[in-house]
Structure 1
Amino acid sequence: MGDSESSTSSAADARVLLSTWANDNDEWVRAIVRRVLSAGRALVDSDVDEVYALFRQEKALDSRTLPKEPLLAVAASPAESDEVLRITSLSEVTGVNALVSGAVITPHAGLTLLYGENGTGKTGYSRLFKTLAGSRNADQILGDVSQANTTAQSALIAYDLGETGHTFRWSGETGGVAPFTRMSIFDSPSVNAHVDADLEYVYVPASLALFNHVNAAIQVIEARIATELAALATGASALLSRIPRDATAYPLVETLGASSDLDTLRALADASGDVDGRVAVLQKAVAALEAGTLSTTIRAQQRVARVLAQASSVAARIEAFDIDAFNTTRTTIAALEIDYALVRAELFEAADLPATPDDTWKTFVEAGESYRQHLITAGAHDENRCLYCRQPIGDRAQELVAKYADYLADKIGADIAESRKSLATATGTVVSIDAPEVTAWVTELAEQTEQPDSYAQVASIASALDAVKASTRSGTAVDHNLTARVATAHAVLTARLAEIEGDVERLESEDANRAEALQTKRRELVELTAAAELGRSWALIDTKVKNAKEADRLTVLARPAPALRRAVTALSKTASDALINQSFAIYFAEECASLRAPSLKVEYIGRDGTAKRRKVLVKNHRPSKVLSEGEQKVLALADFLAEARLSGISAPVIFDDPVSSLDHRRINEVAARIANLAQSAQVIVFTHDIAFTMTLLHLMEASKRCVYFQIDDEEGKGRVTRSSHPRWDTIGGLKKNINETIAAARAEEGQARAALVRTGYGWLRSWCEVFTETELLQGVTQRHQPAVHMTQLGKIKSGALPVAIEPVLRIFEEACRYIDSHSQPLTTLDIAPTLTGLEAHWEELKAARDAYLRAED
């Protein structure tokens, strides 16, 4: 490295940048950086306590007791390295998709190929690796959804970390498990992220994490300041709740803060020793005034006054009632009624009436007279005919009619009617009296043991009223002494009513003065209560004002913190550009060249101390909108590999179907890059592409740093079989199949033997192809092999070829006539092969092979 490169590296070194920046800032900032650089980690609580204490002392919030924070010595970052992580075994997998249990995968330190067709279970294993790694595109691992009961998820992973072996039992954890989070994984879903997304780097050098630690520590100090500000703001609410809202001091306490006038508040405070006693005296006075007993008395007396006034009115009306006249009229009416009955009886005694003359009979007579007068008026009355039956009447009837006329003209009946009218007029004034207040009061107090003054008089008047009403309704005589008793009670009530009305007037005047006194005492109590509370809480008030002033200072002191964090972020971007972006740019260019990825611009962006990269084509179009699927795939691979190289690739790199959608040329280029990577790192490849598989096996043939596993679903998804290469026919395997088929045919007869003979000819045909491919032509060209092995060309025994070609070609064509995969003409379709022919042809082929192998070149 030249001097300029060394200078640039030093200038971008995280420790140098942080130390230089910290030396130009406050002591507490240097304290954070010193601790981060010393420990290489985030600050713990004890560190934060010490830094915050230094911050308060440096800013004169507390007395200075801590020593001055010295300037930091500038020292470059030590070289970073991680222990090599290598997976040695994956086994005991359960509960992952529909994978069968019992499979064991033992990855090679170089390349591990896991080949299988679609749907055979490869995805289950790859998802498990992604989950362990915490991959960007890790899928949720489900159990076998076709089964009702879900098996617990589990797997056993054996791995080496450096020179030490470990095991880990996975039990369904998600989000990544250390140290497997160091693995790099590429799959088809990650293509879009590697092509279009603004990606953070999976690997961040430990030195760059220092910036995050410093930023986090500054944020913690900010949080400490915020917490202290919140604490400083408390305390006033409790005091405020003890101050009466309408006290003079209330608005001053409510706005208690850095600008509060303590002298004004101190003048309102009362800290004297007897203040509580004076408050208690005022409280009792207010309580007495608030009791409201005077107003209750006033209301009670007002009611008594209303009752007495109503009773007096009743008494006056009773006194106005002429009892003697009432009784005399009642006696007169009784005598008249007796006389009237005697007259009526004598008058009609000879009339032979069907019943005693009564009021009904009287009504009958009066109706007849009314009708007679009507006939006279009409000029149609006939004295000789009956008014009712119109029959002629005799002398006796004429005499009776004359008595009817005398009866109707009787003066006694008229006197009775007049007397009754006079009696109704006299009693009407008494019957109409209504005294609800009197009735309710008397009823309410009747059962009480102690009854108030005037109760007896009111009750007497109420009783007299009831007696008068009862007599007038029944027509009985009224006690002539009743008026005198009422008059006596009335005189007492009149005097008592005047007294009560005077009492009510006096009490109302006293009540008005009580309200004014209560208002005055209440005000005195409010101010004295507030003054006493201020005196008791003066220390709290003084502390609150001091806290408010400190809060104002803290608010000012906290303002530079965001700018400090932005400065650290800027330093991080400078360092990350040198430590990550520049390295990534070099690696990315190399990977793009090796994979023939399209050329584009990479922009490096950073926010909040994190480094990101973005790929841009012309006119800022996203690459996915312009590039083909294959171009996107190799571009994503280049980005993935460049990112993986940033960490030095000390952990497994896993590829899940990396060549889907690629043409054969790009497949070869990807295979070559992966093979090259596997020479120095552990690489695991999942694929269903046979050409890609054979290419990788060929590329790894020389180094032997490769292991191959076949994944199939013959006995359940995910069965794993270790092999040297993908399944293909060999001379030895075909020989075994032919011999077993001939032996089976010898033991059968008829159609069963014929079917086995046809199967045997199928194996003979395959033997001819494999013999030609591997031994006659020495494997110069082979199926699924991507290259022509020109180094094998000289090994072909050209002189001995005729010895083998003739029998091989002849028997091959014969075998084609008997196998089902070749259509036959009708003339030969029913010609069946024989077991004897099969055995002869097999012996001939073996002899031809022996002759070729023995022949000299």
Structure 2
Amino acid sequence: MLNIHNEIRTWLFTQQDWMQELAETLIEQGNLTEQHLSLACLRIKSVDSQKVTKNRSFEGLIRPSSVSSEIRLRSIGKVQGIENLSPRLPLSFTSGNLTVVFGHNGSGKSSYTRIIKKMSGKPRSAILKPNVFQTAPTEQKCEVEYEYEGKLISCEWHANSEPIDALRCIDCFDSDEANHYLRNESSATYTPPVIGMFESLALACDQIKIRLQTEQNQLVSSLPQIPNNFVNTDVAIKLKSLNSNTSDVFFEQLVTWTLESQQELEQLKKRLEVTDPLAMAKQLRTTKLQADNVGANLKKGGLAYGVANVECLKKLQLDAHNKRQIASEAAQVSSALLVQVGSNTWRSLWEAARAYSQTVYPNRSFPVTDEANCVLCHQELGLDAKQRLNDFESFVQSKLEGEAQLAEASYNDALANLLSIPTVEVINTQCEAAGLNTEEWKLHLISFWESASIVRNLLISKTIVDTIAPVNRATDTEKVISEHSTALELKAAQYDKDAQVFDREFAVKNRNELEARLWVSQQRDAIKVELQRLKHHKMFEGWKSLANSRSVSTKASAISEKVITKNYVIRFNNELKSLGASRIKIELVKSKATKGKILHRLQLKDSKQSHPIELVLSEGERRIIALAAFLADVAEKPMFAPFIFDDPISSLDNDFEWSVATRLAELAKTRQVLIFTHRLSLYGAVEDAAKKLGDIFRKTQLHQICIESYDGIAGHPVGDQVWNSKTKAANNILITRLGEAKRAGNSGGGDAYRALAQGICTDFRKLIERTVEDDLLNEVVKRHRRSVTTENRLGALPFIKKEDCKFIDDLMTKYSCFEHSQSTETTVIIPESSELQLDIEALITWRTEFQSRKKDI
């Protein structure tokens, strides 16, 4: 085993640190707690714990394993509601190691076996049912007594409840176990602690994997379900392709939604909504025209009230002002009697007089002074007045005045031609018509025109231009409107094309794709969380792969091949030999390793064809090899626990029966063996096998019990009977029964006596036969024993006399009618009590005398 331990230690040093820690815990403590498993789940996620280390010594590998304390069943009683058992007294197994429980079919033997299997937690134990021929009981329970660690323990056990832990080590053999070994793969019931460590380690790996899986299952996706109408879109397919390796670039491309995409979507929607593309194109171009007008007006307003035009008006204003000042200075007419000649008011009056003069003096040059009256006051013109009028006209027609008037005209024309300012209502209407119908657009344009209006009002009021702040031209706005106009034209052009040919199905598909992209972009945060979940999910996959028990099972298989399988096969072959079944061509082989356990199965040896065992071997052969497999599996366990056998010799011949009895008696040398049987032959064979082990063994270890059923109730232990008692004791039993029969006759008459005496006569006949076997022939030969036993027995045979034979023969002849069928013409008369008593006592006297002859042997 030292080499095996070194091999295991070497293997452990190739494992990750978290696994080494579990193995060390199993070696030192024998089991793993929930806390150990929880800690392992945490450590397996740690990079440090995933390293391969050599920090442990695993000294526990070489420590000898301890042997468990002895377990013994003492009794089963107070059975209630289980099968048809309801014994008056407990079924007791005493302190001997070998107990044989005999009973006819239906006496309750298998029911007791099923109780023991169930309370000991055997994997193939059946559900304990109540007596189906009676009303269902309120409770199903029994009381069991057993010895554990030298203490007698009594407890009440409820049927089909949890097994009794102390009794789990009991092993049971019955038909179900026999079929299991014949038909199924099975692991060895006992495995050395070092192999048990592998099984526990594999189980721990599986449990850790389950825990990790449970944690992983909690990583539930919170990503909204893709709407049904988007399921088949390209972007939905990309969304479903998300995995732990998805890059940030792919993520950004997936969730990005641009203004161009939004515009494309809106355009597609509108195109799909339109039933008359030509009309829509016309409408769009109308909208475009309005947008162009808004842009043009915006440009005109910017030019009209911008820096350049305001600067131009400033120059015109200054030029008119300067020229008027020069003309005014030159307008000092000497004949004028009043001031301000040449002022604007005066010029207006003068021009009005000129116009009026054409009315009263048509076709005459102004001013008319010859033979004319003043056009203003209608008085006759004197010389001064005429001179004054001519002086005024000369002033007006002078060059300076003309220049002043021309400059003022230019300035006034410029003011008169200033661009008009649209009202708020007009601006709103223009925006609606131009497709610029957002509040932002309206407020923006209103703000611009309000600024222009302020400049215009200041200009019109001829405020000094230097104090006016011109508006800034809205070139950016003009550009946006121009782009808007271009887009309208493009849409209109698209509708023109749509009017000629429009793939509506393709457009619907594109619209659906765009809407899907929009929906996906709205799930940006959820998708980011999902990517984190997928990355975490992948980490769990890696951790679960580390917890895979395959490597443990592989190593367990290699170690078990050396430690278990080889020895298991040897034990099986030895059991076949001890049971006299070596001739049967059967072998035990390893079938596979799973979860750290090695499975074995029985198969035909050297078979040229593939057939199941049950189709080739006889029923008896199948029974004996199943028993051999069972004994090979459990007999060498290093613990003192009971073995239960329910009719182990079913279908076996006499040779196999004797071999089984011998093997079970041998087994009882070290532990408790309970045998339930309905075969008297096995009952006797076990007794003979016990005798072969010595009289002391037979007297101290063999315990024989009989159980019976009565009135539908089974499992009743029966006291000593004529058939299972020694001949001397049997004689005494018959004397006692005869006394009871006499008392029954005295109180109830002859019929009452004969009813009991009939059975006494029958049992007396059987006792005479046993007297021949046990006393006369000194147990050299017996009916229910295959062997002839001569050791220290033949010496008594010479003491047999002719008188002995005649005495026995006479009794046999007299009472054979009570055991064997008689002719209907032959009347069977039951002896009176006195006669029967004399015969029984005569047999007692004969035996006493005959035994005295053999004292010197």
Decide: shared fold, TM above 0.5. Answer: yes
Q: Residue 71 of structure 2 contacts residue 146 of structure 2 at CA under 8 Å; is this kept in 1? A: yes
Alignment of 1:248-647 (within 5 A): 259-261=247-249, 517=438, 544=529, 547=532, 551=536, 554=539, 557-558=542-543, 561=546, 565-597=549-581, 598-604=584-590, 605-617=592-604, 618=607, 619-647=609-637
The yes-or-no answer on 1:96 pairing with 2:82 is yes
Distance 1:849 1:224 in 2: 77
Q: CA deviation at 1:178?
A: 1.9
2:555 partner amino acid: L
- The correspondence for 1:147, drawn from 118, 134, 137, is 134
Q: Deviations over 1:757-796 (max 9, x none)?
A: 9988778766755555544444444443444453333235
Distance 2:753 2:212 in 1: 95
**What SS does the corresponding residue of 1:123 show, helix, strand or coil?**
helix
Distance 1:585 1:614 in 2: 11
Per the alignment, residue 720 of structure 1 pairs with 717
Per the alignment, residue 182 of structure 1 pairs with 169
Task: Decide whether aligned partners of structure 1 residues 192 and 549 sit closer, same or farther in structure 2, where only a CA change above 3 A counts.
Answer: closer
The yes-or-no answer on 1:73 pairing with 2:70 is no
Task: Decide whether aligned partners of structure 1 residues 43 and 546 sit closer, same or farther in structure 2, where only a CA change above 3 A counts.
Answer: farther
Distance 1:584 1:643 in 2: 7
1:125 partner amino acid: Y
Distance 1:751 1:237 in 2: 95
Task: Decide whether aligned partners of structure 1 residues 23 and 158 sit closer, same or farther in structure 2, where only a CA change above 3 A counts.
Answer: same
Q: Deviations over 1:73-125 (max 9, x none)?
A: 25334333322221122222111111114331222441111110001111211
Per the alignment, residue 34 of structure 2 pairs with 44
1:593 partner amino acid: K
Q: CA deviation at 1:150?
A: 1.8
Distance 2:838 2:537 in 1: 109
Q: CA deviation at 1:253?
A: 13
Q: CA deviation at 1:812?
A: 5.2
The yes-or-no answer on 1:731 pairing with 2:721 is no
> Root-mean-square deviation (CA), in Å?
5.1
**What SS does the corresponding residue of 1:56 show, helix, strand or coil?**
coil
Q: Deviations over 1:189-232 (max 9, x none)?
A: 22222123111233333332332443455456656766776777
User: How many residues are treated as equivalent by the alignment?
Assistant: 584
1:23 partner amino acid: F
Q: CA deviation at 1:660?
A: 1.0
* TM-score, normalisation: structure 2: 0.57
Task: Decide whether aligned partners of structure 1 residues 520 and 654 sit closer, same or farther in structure 2, where only a CA change above 3 A counts.
Answer: farther
- The correspondence for 1:657, drawn from 611, 635, 647, is 647
Q: Residue 738 of structure 2 contacts residue 837 of structure 2 at CA under 8 Å; is this kept in 1? A: no
Q: Deviations over 1:667-691 (max 9, x none)?
A: 0001100010011111111100000
Distance 2:218 2:9 in 1: 34
Distance 1:764 1:256 in 2: 91
Task: Decide whether aligned partners of structure 1 residues 739 and 626 sit closer, same or farther in structure 2, where only a CA change above 3 A counts.
Answer: same
1:150 partner amino acid: P
1:186 partner amino acid: F
- The correspondence for 1:690, drawn from 680, 683, 688, is 680
Distance 1:169 1:93 in 2: 10
**What SS does the corresponding residue of 2:793 show, helix, strand or coil?**
helix
2:2 partner amino acid: S
Per the alignment, residue 705 of structure 2 pairs with 709
Distance 1:749 1:113 in 2: 40
Q: Residue 779 of structure 1 contacts residue 789 of structure 1 at CA under 8 Å; is this kept in 2? A: yes
Q: Residue 198 of structure 2 contacts residue 596 of structure 2 at CA under 8 Å; is this kept in 1? A: yes
Alignment of 1:653-802 (within 5 A): 653-701=643-691, 702=695, 703=697, 704=699, 705-714=701-710, 716-721=713-718, 723=720, 726-727=723-724, 730-737=730-737, 769=769, 772-790=772-790, 791-796=792-797, 798=799, 801-802=801-802
Per the alignment, residue 85 of structure 1 pairs with 71
Q: CA deviation at 1:699?
A: 1.9
Task: Decide whether aligned partners of structure 1 residues 736 and 181 sit closer, same or farther in structure 2, where only a CA change above 3 A counts.
Answer: closer
Task: Decide whether aligned partners of structure 1 residues 652 and 515 sit closer, same or farther in structure 2, where only a CA change above 3 A counts.
Answer: farther
Task: Decide whether aligned partners of structure 1 residues 726 and 552 sit closer, same or farther in structure 2, where only a CA change above 3 A counts.
Answer: same
Distance 1:265 1:764 in 2: 106
2:171 partner amino acid: S
1:727 partner amino acid: N
**What SS does the corresponding residue of 2:175 show, helix, strand or coil?**
coil
Distance 1:59 1:833 in 2: 92
Per the alignment, residue 111 of structure 1 pairs with 98
1:111 partner amino acid: L
Distance 1:835 1:252 in 2: 104
Q: CA deviation at 1:634?
A: 0.7
Per the alignment, residue 329 of structure 2 pairs with none
Unaligned runs of 5+ in 1: 1-8, 61-66, 241-245, 271-504, 522-532
1:163 partner amino acid: G
Per the alignment, residue 367 of structure 2 pairs with none
Per the alignment, residue 159 of structure 1 pairs with 146
Task: Decide whether aligned partners of structure 1 residues 167 and 506 sit closer, same or farther in structure 2, where only a CA change above 3 A counts.
Answer: same
**What SS does the corresponding residue of 2:46 show, helix, strand or coil?**
helix
Distance 1:836 1:55 in 2: 94
Q: Residue 553 of structure 2 contacts residue 595 of structure 2 at CA under 8 Å; is this kept in 1? A: yes
Q: Deviations over 1:17-49 (max 9, x none)?
A: 554234334444444444444443236346544
Distance 2:152 2:749 in 1: 60
**What SS does the corresponding residue of 2:585 show, helix, strand or coil?**
coil
Per the alignment, residue 350 of structure 1 pairs with none
Task: Decide whether aligned partners of structure 1 residues 33 and 734 sit closer, same or farther in structure 2, where only a CA change above 3 A counts.
Answer: closer
Distance 1:212 1:820 in 2: 60
Distance 1:815 1:217 in 2: 72
Distance 2:521 2:818 in 1: 116
- The correspondence for 1:191, drawn from 163, 178, 185, is 178
2:673 partner amino acid: V
Q: Residue 12 of structure 1 contacts residue 574 of structure 1 at CA under 8 Å; is this kept in 2? A: no
% identity of equivalent residues: 21
2:546 partner amino acid: A
Q: CA deviation at 1:148?
A: 1.7
Per the alignment, residue 159 of structure 2 pairs with 172
Q: Deviations over 1:355-397 (max 9, x none)?
A: xxxxxxxxxxxxxxxxxxxxxxxxxxxxxxxxxxxxxxxxxxx
Q: CA deviation at 1:517?
A: 3.8
151-160 or 49-58, which deviates more: 49-58
Task: Decide whether aligned partners of structure 1 residues 155 and 758 sit closer, same or farther in structure 2, where only a CA change above 3 A counts.
Answer: closer
Distance 1:657 1:820 in 2: 27
**What SS does the corresponding residue of 2:137 show, helix, strand or coil?**
coil
Distance 1:55 1:759 in 2: 80
- The correspondence for 1:10, drawn from 2, 6, 9, is 2
Distance 2:256 2:852 in 1: 127
Task: Decide whether aligned partners of structure 1 residues 518 and 651 sit closer, same or farther in structure 2, where only a CA change above 3 A counts.
Answer: farther
Task: Decide whether aligned partners of structure 1 residues 762 and 126 sit closer, same or farther in structure 2, where only a CA change above 3 A counts.
Answer: closer
Distance 2:17 2:204 in 1: 14
Per the alignment, residue 214 of structure 1 pairs with 201
Task: Decide whether aligned partners of structure 1 residues 720 and 71 sit closer, same or farther in structure 2, where only a CA change above 3 A counts.
Answer: same
Q: Deviations over 1:140-195 (max 9, x none)?
A: 21111111232411112222223333333211235744232211111122222212
2:557 partner amino acid: K
Distance 1:212 1:710 in 2: 43
Distance 1:631 1:264 in 2: 75
1:693 partner amino acid: Y
Task: Decide whether aligned partners of structure 1 residues 763 and 591 sit closer, same or farther in structure 2, where only a CA change above 3 A counts.
Answer: closer
